[in-house]
């Protein structure tokens, strides 16, 4: 149960940062979001692995570092955390403008690449024997999100996380018609990242 609580809290604060930074039109939103993810990973990594993202949970499970029995509870707690955060943000700032009109093909490509990069970094920085016990994994993962947000934020919202997508739709930062893309592309990217990791890993 401790692991599940940590997953809920970490995802909640990630979405809290996303909502407040984006709705306030902060030009440094990617940095705020990446920093929040980093500190939550350092805070909860030793308890739950600090996934805070269904795509990461799927990738780590496929890699063999997450028990099958934890996959669904992790994902449910991540989504609950995202919904709680969205309600808090809406209380503080109201809702977003409804979300931009994205190009569907570009959203799919951007989210596939961004989520792959995120899961790839998680697997290599936080689960590989070669980086076992390192102290940089939280920063590496957080900066991956920051870099991805600066790179493709205007194309897809740079979500890279199905739970964040649910919260973003609830806060009206993303149009609901695009939700399925984030829910499908995230796990697909995680699958590709996990398979490639296992293919190149020396473990």
Question: What local confidence, expressed as pLDDT, does residue 89 receive?
Answer: 98
What CATH number is given to the structural domain containing 84? 1.20.1080.10
Question: What local confidence, expressed as pLDDT, does residue 59 receive?
Answer: 98
Is residue 71 within 8 Å of residue 58, measured between CB atoms? yes
d(CA 186, CA 188): 5
What pTM did the predictor assign? 0.95
Q: What is the DSSP letter of 173?
A: S
d(CA 28, CA 57): 27
Question: What local confidence, expressed as pLDDT, does residue 168 receive?
Answer: 98
d(CA 122, CA 63): 11
Contacts of 174 by beta carbon, 8 Å cutoff, 6+ apart: 99, 157, 159, 165, 168, 182
d(CA 33, CA 23): 13
Question: What local confidence, expressed as pLDDT, does residue 130 receive?
Answer: 84
- Give the domain range for residue 121: 2-200
pLDDT tens for each residue of 17-47: 999 999 999 999 999 999 999 999 999 999 9
Q: Render each residue's pLDDT in the chain as its tens digit; 203 residues.
A: 899 999 999 999 999 999 999 999 999 999 999 999 999 999 999 999 999 999 999 999 999 999 999 999 999 999 999 999 999 999 999 999 999 999 999 999 999 999 999 999 999 999 998 888 888 999 999 999 999 999 999 999 999 999 999 999 999 999 999 999 999 999 999 999 999 999 998 76
What is the domain count for the chain?
Answer: 1
Three-state DSSP state, 161: coil
Question: What local confidence, expressed as pLDDT, does residue 133 receive?
Answer: 84
Beta strands in the chain (DSSP E): none
Question: What local confidence, expressed as pLDDT, does residue 131 receive?
Answer: 86
Question: What local confidence, expressed as pLDDT, does residue 78 receive?
Answer: 98
Question: What local confidence, expressed as pLDDT, does residue 53 receive?
Answer: 98
């Amino acid at each position: 149960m401790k692991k599940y609580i940590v997953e809920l809290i970490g995802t909640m604060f990630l979405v809290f940062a996303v909502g407040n930074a984006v709705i306030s039109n902060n030009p440094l939103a990617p940095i705020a979001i990446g920093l929040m993810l980093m500190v939550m990973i350092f805070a909860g990594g030793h308890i739950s692995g600090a996934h805070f993202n269904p795509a990461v949970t799927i990738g780590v499970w496929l890699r063999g570092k997450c028990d099958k029995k934890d996959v669904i509870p992790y994902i449910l707690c991540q989504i609950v955390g995202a919904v709680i955060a969205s309600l808090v943000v809406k209380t503080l700032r109201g809702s977003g403008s409804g979300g931009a009109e994205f190009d569907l093909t570009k959203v799919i490509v951007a989210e596939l690449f961004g989520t792959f990069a995120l899961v790839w970094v998680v697997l290599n920085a936080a689960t590989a024997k070669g980086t076992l016990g390192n102290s940089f994994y939280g920063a590496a993962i957080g900066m991956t999100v920051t870099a991805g947000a600066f790179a493709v934020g205007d194309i897809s919202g740079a979500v890279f996380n199905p739970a964040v997508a649910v919260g973003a739709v609830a806060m009206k930062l993303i149009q609901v018609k695009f939700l399925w893309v984030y829910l499908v592309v995230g796990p697909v990217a995680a699958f590709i990242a996990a398979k490639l990791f296992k293919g190149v890993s020396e473990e």
